[in-house]
Amino acid sequence: MWFHRQAIVAKTQDPSGELEVVARALKGDEKNYHAWAYMQWLLQTFQTGWEEEMDFVDKLLKEDRRYVFSL
């Protein structure tokens, strides 16, 4: 699925809404490697969305029941 989305977005050069698609996929499975790889491709290819990246990742880490953070 992700490869096909990547091909379509690359052809149309229109990534609008794609980060939201990835966010919905990660909501169901925060460790979805393919969704993370696709998001990185989007960010690198279109040089957009980096501003929200850290906030998004931080939010997911706080919501992850399996993540243990200790200082």
Question: Is 68 domain-assigned?
Answer: no
Any domain includes 71: no
Return d(Cα 22, Cα 47) in angstroms, integer: 16
Q: Is residue 39 part of a domain?
A: yes
Q: pTM for the full model?
A: 0.76
In a domain, residue 53? The reply is yes
Q: Which residues contact 34 (CB under 8 A, 6 or more apart)?
A: 1, 2
The range of the structural domain enclosing residue 59 comes to 2-63
For residue 28, tell me if it sits in a domain: yes
Q: Is residue 38 part of a domain?
A: yes
The model's pLDDT over 18-66, given as tens digits with 9 standing for 90+, comes to 888 988 898 878 888 999 999 899 988 988 767 777 787 777 777 766 6
Q: How many independent structural domains does the chain possess? A: 1
